[in-house]
Amino acid sequence: MTYPDQNAAIDPDNEIFRYQSCDFIMKYVENGSKVLDVGAGDGAVALPVADLCKSHVTCFDQQPDRLQQISNLGKGLPIQTIVGDCHDLPFKEDSFDVVYSRMLLSHLPRWRDALSEQVRVCKPGGVVIAHHRSKGIVDVLNDYFPESRVRDAVLKQRMKTTRSCATPDDFNELAEKLGCDVIETAPIGLFLANSAFFETAFERGSAHEAFRKDYHKHLLKPDVRSFVDWFERTVTPKLAPALTEMFFTVLRTPQESR
Ligand SMILES: C[S@@+](CC[C@H](N)C(=O)[O-])C[C@H]1O[C@@H](n2cnc3c(N)ncnc32)[C@H](O)[C@@H]1O
């Protein structure tokens, strides 16, 4: 499936990652449902969800300019935008059928508080879809490159934007505390040019840049692209979460109103 394009050109590995994320989230969105996208950014997921699932999407983010971009691109779609901090969502309990966030929780040191807020505003028996960076892949770096200068550089680079990582067990624990069931855990984005598999191989930035350029050129070949699309949709979700840089966790909120 392809989705309406954003105006910004993105690398093919990121584009595949975006399509795969949209597919994953849209499995849980029924036509006409009320959806909340937390940390919606420029609508990479919210726009396809509103367009293809014919659902009403509330886009929430702390950056008004990013939300403005959604309003500009999503004219005519059932979308509203709200500015604020995701640790304190301005919605009543039981407001949405589906609440999701993509590439948000890893920016938050208090990701558990943010996720608890998402559960609070979701209806009883509704779905909260969380997306987080895998702590397991950091452990892989620590275990296999213990004394490496490159490993230190990679971790430093990652931690510029990463304020937290998690494991599926972290989600299991939090879900139990919140009275939710974990209904799916799925890794995502094996072919995203991620730090553990690609950056550790290079000592210098320039070599890495050259590699990325070649890698992207390769991914743009139609046969390679269709293989990667197939692999990401059918095989990657069945891998161990520690093998990819990120993973999704889907929670079902308690049936009883809280
Ligand atoms: C990496 S972007 C992801 C955007 C979008 N979800 C996507 O998948 O393309 C992270 C977004 O989270 C937003 N964000 C970060 N911290 C936030 C907070 N405390 N409250 C609300 N939004 C936040 C940022 O403004 C940014 O738009």
**Residue 255 scores a pLDDT above 70:** yes
Instruction: Go through the chain and tell me how many residues it has.
Output: 258
pLDDT at 245: 82
Contacts of 74 (CB under 8 A, 6+ apart): 43, 46, 47, 50
pLDDT at 13: 85
Q: Residue 82 C-alpha to ligand 1 middle, in angstroms?
A: 13
Closest protein CA for atom 10 of ligand 1: 104
pLDDT at 2: 47
Q: Residue 111 C-alpha to ligand 1 middle, in angstroms?
A: 12
* Residue-wise pLDDT tens digits, 103-127: 999 999 999 999 999 999 999 999 9
The mean pLDDT of 37-42, rounded to a whole number, is 96
Residue found by looking up tokens 């919140």 in the block: 178
C-beta of 193 in contact with ligand 1 (< 6 A): no
* Residue-wise pLDDT tens digits, 144-197: 776 766 667 666 666 667 888 899 999 999 999 999 999 999 999 888 866 555
Count of structural domains, the chain: 1
The mean pLDDT of 35-47, rounded to a whole number, is 96
Residue 217 lies in a domain: yes
CATH at residue 171: 3.40.50.150
Question: 3-state SS of the chain: helix, strand, coil percent to 5?
Answer: 45, 20, 35
Residue 96 lies in a domain: yes
Over pLDDT 70: what percentage of the chain?
84
C-beta of 104 in contact with ligand 1 (< 6 A): yes
Closest protein CA for atom 11 of ligand 1: 39
Q: Are 64 and 42 in contact (CB under 8 A)?
A: no
Residue 6 lies in a domain: no
Side by side, the strands of the sheet bearing 34-38 are 79-83, 56-61, 34-38, 96-100, 122-133, 246-252, 181-188
Residue 3 lies in a domain: no
Q: Which of 83, 195, 203 minimizes the C-alpha distance to 133?
A: 195
Residue 76 lies in a domain: yes
Closest protein CA for atom 13 of ligand 1: 39
C-beta of 107 in contact with ligand 1 (< 6 A): yes
**Residue 51 scores a pLDDT above 50:** yes
Categorize the per-residue pLDDT at 7 as very low, low, confident or very high, splitting at 50, 70 and 90: very low
For residue 9, give the DSSP letter. Answer: -
Domain ranges, residue 88: 12-252
Please name the helix (run of DSSP H) or strand (run of DSSP E) that holds residue 159, with its range, or none.
helix 149-161
Decide: helix, strand or coil at residue 122.
strand
pLDDT at 200: 52
Q: What b/e sequence results for 113-124 when a residue is b if at least 16 CB atoms lie within 10 Å of its CB, and e otherwise?
A: ebbbbbbbbbbe
* Residue-wise pLDDT tens digits, 201-247: 555 556 667 777 888 899 899 999 999 999 998 999 898 887 888 89
Residue 1 lies in a domain: no
Q: Specify the ligand 1 atom closest to the Cα of 86.
A: 20
Taking each helix axis from N to C end, the angle separating 205-219 and 222-234, rounded to the nearest 10 degrees, works out to 90
Q: Specify the ligand 1 atom closest to the Cα of 85.
A: 20
In this structure, are strands 246-252 and 56-61 parallel, antiparallel, or unpaired? unpaired
pLDDT at 140: 74
The mean pLDDT of 92-106, rounded to a whole number, is 96
**Residue 249 scores a pLDDT above 80:** yes
Task: Compute the distance between CA of residue 33 and CA of residue 12 in angstroms, rounded to an integer.
Answer: 31
Tokens of 91: 């919605």
Decide: helix, strand or coil at residue 4.
coil
* Residue-wise pLDDT tens digits, 10-28: 788 888 889 899 999 999 9
Residue 121 lies in a domain: yes
Residue 2 lies in a domain: no
Q: Residue 61 C-alpha to ligand 1 middle, in angstroms?
A: 6
* Residue-wise pLDDT tens digits, 63-87: 999 999 999 999 999 999 999 999 9
